[in-house]
Amino acid sequence: MSSRFPSGIALCLAGMLAVAASPAAAREMRVCADPNNLPFSKQDGSGYENKIADIIAEELGAEVTYTWFAQRRGFLRNTLNAGVCDVVIGYPRNYQILRSTRPYYRSSYVFVQRAGEKPIAGYDDPSLRQMQIGVQLIGDDGANTPPVAALAKRGITANVHGYPVYGDYRTDAPLAPIMDAVGSGTIDVAVVWGPTAGYFASREKLPLQLTPILFDSSLLSQPMTFDIAVGVRKNEIALSDEIDRALRNRRKDIDAILQSYGVPRTDTASPAPASVVGSMP
């Protein structure tokens, strides 16, 4: 079945609704997102992917509507590829079961330590053998994150502690515990995906420092950095092109949002316009 967005039926329905509602709402951008996955998305709109969705929709002359679904195994199958929405905001580029737009940022895994401690120099840093290390636990197919593979390759297992990315979904920020554990001293260092680390670092009581490690020379097949793009269904070439244009036109605004959420970039952000810096949440 083909997409309802931006098909004639959708436009027609929207037009009919527009009679009773706002005449400006001519188009719907249907987004699937996790309702409880800060800093990425949240049902109250407080995630940075929510803000980026608003910007893209604005550029498309559309209004964002959400289908909320926990981002776990089967997320794309049950959402985007089931046709209940047309867009997912942040996925690694070239993720095989969707079509990627141009990437709008690139980030990396980072080492998180309490501020003032000697920064970790890389996976061969001898101090890693003594420290209590926290890592993100994927919990899917026995797969590990690239940093975990780098540690395992060196036999560093006995002092590694897993923090499930699913976390406790009843809490306000299921991804936060690994960062809290560094802040509280439960662990000495954590290896965390950049956007998660950057956001929660700014909320910890004690200052934290982030050290990106862009690659591990002993494990070149396991990238530590990833391009992040918007995803659409594989056959939605026109929509993908439209979003590409929106991302290009609004690059500065998107960069400003990423900056305000503390996303560590390994690509070059555009210089943020003065009018936007400082005004974002």
Partner 1 sequence: MRNFGPIFAVFAALPITATIAIAQANTAPPPSSAPIATGALADQTPPVAPQFAGPVQGDAEWSSPGRDSALTRYSTLGDINVSNVKNLRNVFTFSMGVNRGQEAAPLVVGNTLYVVSPYPNTLYALDLTQPGAPLKWRYDPPQDEAAQGVACCDVVNRGATYSDGKLYFNTLDGSTVAVDAATGKETWRTKLATIQMGETMTMAPLIAKDKVIVGNSGGELGVRGWAMALDKNTGNVIWKAYSTGPDNEVLIGPDFKPHYAQYKGSDLGVGTWPADMWKQGGGTVWGWVSYDPDLNLVYYGTSNPGPWNSTMRPGDNLWTAGIFARDADTGQARWYYQFSPHDLSDYDGVNENILIDLPSPSGAARKALVHPDRNGYIYVIDRATGELLSAEPFHPITSTKGVDLKSGRLIYNEEKRPQPNKFVKDICPAPPGAKDWQPAAFSHKTGHLYLPHNNLCMDLKETEVGYIAGTPYVGAEVLMKAGPGGHRGAFTAWDIVAGKALWSIKERFPVWSGALVTDGDVAFYGTMDGWFKAVNANTGEPLWQFKTSSGIIGQPTTWRGPDNKQYVGILSGVGGWSGAIVAGDLDPRDGTAALGFVNAMKDLPSVTTKGGTLYVFALP
* 262 contacts partner 1 (rule: CB under 8 A): no
CB nearer to partner 1: pick between 221 and 275: 221
Please report where in the chains the tokens 């097949």 appear, as a residue. 221
Tell me the C-alpha to C-alpha distance, in Å, between residue 170 and each of 69, 189, 197. Answer: 14, 26, 21
- To partner 1, the closest distance from the beta carbon of 280 in angstroms equals 20
What is the CB-side half-sphere exposure of residue 12 using CA atoms within 13 A?
Answer: 4
Q: For partner 1, which stretch binds (CB under 8 A), given 8-16, 23-31, 132-140, 260-268?
A: 132-140
* 48 contacts partner 1 (rule: CB under 8 A): no
Interacting positions 165-184 with partner 1 (CB under 8 A) = 165-166, 168-170, 174-175
Strands 41-42 and 36-37: antiparallel
Residues forming a β-bridge with 28: 63
* 189 contacts partner 1 (rule: CB under 8 A): no
- To partner 1, the closest distance from the beta carbon of 66 in angstroms equals 16
* 123 contacts partner 1 (rule: CB under 8 A): no
Tell me the C-alpha to C-alpha distance, in Å, between residue 187 and each of 113, 153, 180. Answer: 9, 21, 9
Q: For partner 1, which stretch binds (CB under 8 A), given 1-9, 12-20, 133-141, 262-270?
A: 133-141
Q: For partner 1, which stretch binds (CB under 8 A), given 19-27, 188-196, 245-253, 271-279?
A: 188-196
Interacting positions 216-255 with partner 1 (CB under 8 A) = 219, 221-223, 226
* Residue of 55, 79, 169, 225 lying closest to 88 (CA atoms): 79
Judge contact between 183 and 205, C-beta under 8 A: yes
Tell me the C-alpha to C-alpha distance, in Å, between residue 215 and each of 21, 66, 131, 150. Answer: 52, 36, 21, 10
Residue 254 burial (CB count, 10 A): 22
* 266 contacts partner 1 (rule: CB under 8 A): no
* Residues at the interface with partner 1 (CB under 8 A): 34, 37, 39-40, 69-75, 77-78, 81-82, 90-92, 94-97, 132, 136-146, 148-149, 151-153, 157-162, 164-166, 168-170, 174-175, 193, 195-196, 219, 221-223, 226
